[in-house]
């Protein structure tokens, strides 16, 4: 098969997926969900929702940025009723693109704390991920990791691993620091952090944690759910890393450890809004939230939901309660600041 034929087949497959959703939309027993979450991390919950309500969920997965662009290009004809993605910055971009409509339900208002949802209720957090510091047990005293600002100290010169500045998780972390400390202090910190890099940023969060275990660096900044997945893995490399690395919770005496959310919003042109809101309520309830914790080592946003054994094993910590809306609002400033600091 030549390259042109492959392209045509790919386009046809994409058109078929959208056509199938369009054909399904408008029926009273269905809802269409665009999700940047891996199918295995959402499909079991959707199946449970269908079993309980009789409402079938038509799921389309892809990258967050890709799905956002798709909804924009589809315009008011999009079959999407809901958009689920990770990171408050990505959710803010969808809101800024005027894709969401605000909603208020007793379930969502009661289950999702105020700072973990959009200030105007255009989207709600569904799971929370912390971004602490991972350290080599044999080489680092965790008491030296007091807060994020301390990571710019000279004692960490050539000892820190973190992924690149184009990563939305890092952008949101810097956005939070801008909210707490202002741009001038945050830029000075970012320059100090860059000076302390053990290597040029490369790879994802798991790669940073593995680099600590292998001795390429002594500490790394990464999201906890990656470490949770490694802890539950049977892979020998993962188990070796987990045995050598531990978590330090920064800023416990000040703002708290930086956290972010995955979240969901109702599309403004949704054709099945009642079913969509039912699904949002379902995903925010305690049992669904506990499933998130078990399946992907993410912290529930619902304070009444139970933590998994892995999460419990890491202990309690003080989380930053900055409004997730501010992470998106400060994103552009954070990206410019990171560029000026030489964080590539």
Q: How far is CA 313 from CA 133, 226, 297, 320, in A?
A: 16, 15, 11, 20
For residue 121, what are its two tokens? 């209720």
Per residue in 16-48, is it b (16+ CB within 10 Å) or e — as a string? eebeebbebbeeeebbbbbbbbeeebbeebbee
Angle (CA) 78-79-82 rounded to 5° is 95
C-alpha to C-alpha distance for 199 and 139, rounded to whole angstroms = 18
Contact 230, 104 (CB under 8 A): no
Angle (CA) 126-256-160 rounded to 5° is 100
Contact 166, 339 (CB under 8 A): no
**Helices assigned H by DSSP within the chain:** 3-24, 43-53, 64-74, 88-96, 106-111, 168-181, 183-195, 205-214, 224-232, 236-244, 273-284, 286-296, 309-313, 324-329, 331-340
- Of 168, 116, 34, give the one whose Cα is nearest residue 284: 116
DSSP per residue, 147-190 = SSGGGGSGGGTT-EE---TTSHHHHHHHHHHHHHH-HHHHHHHH
According to DSSP, the β-strands at 30-35 and 219-221 are unpaired
C-alpha to C-alpha distance for 99 and 4, rounded to whole angstroms = 34
Note down pLDDT in tens along the chain; length 344 residues: 443 443 333 333 343 344 344 434 444 699 999 999 989 889 999 999 999 999 999 999 999 999 999 999 999 999 999 999 999 999 999 999 999 999 999 999 999 999 999 999 999 999 999 999 999 999 999 999 999 999 999 999 999 999 999 999 999 999 999 999 999 999 999 999 999 999 999 999 999 999 999 999 999 999 999 999 999 999 999 999 999 999 999 999 999 999 999 999 999 999 999 999 999 999 999 999 999 899 999 999 999 999 999 999 999 999 999 999 999 999 999 999 999 999 99
Contact 83, 58 (CB under 8 A): no
Task: Tell me the pTM.
Answer: 0.89
User: Which helix or strand (DSSP H or E) is residue 30 part of?
Assistant: strand 30-35
Q: How many CB atoms lie within 10 A of CB 166?
A: 12
C-alpha to C-alpha distance for 310 and 235, rounded to whole angstroms = 17
Contact 58, 279 (CB under 8 A): no
C-alpha to C-alpha distance for 312 and 247, rounded to whole angstroms = 13
pLDDT, position 292 = 86
pLDDT, position 28 = 66
C-alpha to C-alpha distance for 85 and 98, rounded to whole angstroms = 16
C-alpha to C-alpha distance for 324 and 175, rounded to whole angstroms = 10
């Amino acid at each position: 098969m030549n390259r042109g034929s492959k392209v045509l087949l790919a386009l046809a497959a994409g058109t078929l997926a959208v056509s199938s959703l369009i054909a399904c939309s408008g029926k009273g027993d269905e809802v269409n969900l665009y999700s940047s979450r891996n199918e295995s991390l959402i499909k079991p919950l959707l199946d449970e929702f269908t079993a309980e309500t009789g409402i079938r969920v038509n799921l389309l997965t892809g990258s967050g940025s890709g799905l956002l662009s798709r909804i924009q290009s589809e315009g008011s004809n999009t079959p999407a009723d809901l958009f689920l993605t990770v990171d408050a910055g990505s959710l803010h971009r969808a809101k800024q693109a005027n894709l969401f409509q605000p909603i208020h339900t007793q379930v969502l208002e009661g289950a999702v704390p105020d700072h973990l949802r959009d200030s105007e209720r255009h989207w709600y957090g569904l799971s929370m991920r912390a971004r602490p510091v991972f350290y080599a047990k044999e080489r680092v005293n965790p008491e030296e990791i007091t807060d994020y600002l301390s990571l710019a100290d000279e004692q960490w010169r050539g000892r820190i691993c973190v992924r690149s500045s184009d990563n939305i998780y890092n952008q949101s972390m810097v956005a939070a620091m801008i909210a707490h400390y202002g741009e001038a202090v945050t830029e000075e910190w970012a320059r100090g952090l860059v000076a302390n890099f053990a290597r040029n940023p490369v790879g994802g969060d798991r790669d940073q944690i593995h680099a600590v275990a292998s001795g390429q660096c002594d500490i790394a900044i990464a999201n906890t759910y990656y470490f949770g997945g490694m802890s539950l893995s049977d892979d020998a490399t993962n188990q070796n890393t987990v045995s050598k690395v531990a978590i330090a919770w920064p800023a416990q005496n000040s703002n708290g450890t930086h956290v972010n959310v995955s979240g969901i919003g109702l599309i403004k042109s949704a054709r099945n809004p009642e079913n969509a809101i039912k699904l949002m309520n379902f995903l925010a309830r305690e049992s669904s939230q506990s499933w998130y914790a078990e399946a992907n080592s993410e912290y529930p946003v619902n304070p009444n939901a139970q933590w998994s054994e892995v999460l419990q094993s890491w202990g309690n910590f003080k989380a930053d309660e900055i409004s997730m809306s501010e992470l998106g609002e400060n994103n552009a400033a954070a990206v410019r600041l990171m560029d000026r600091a030489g964080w590539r």
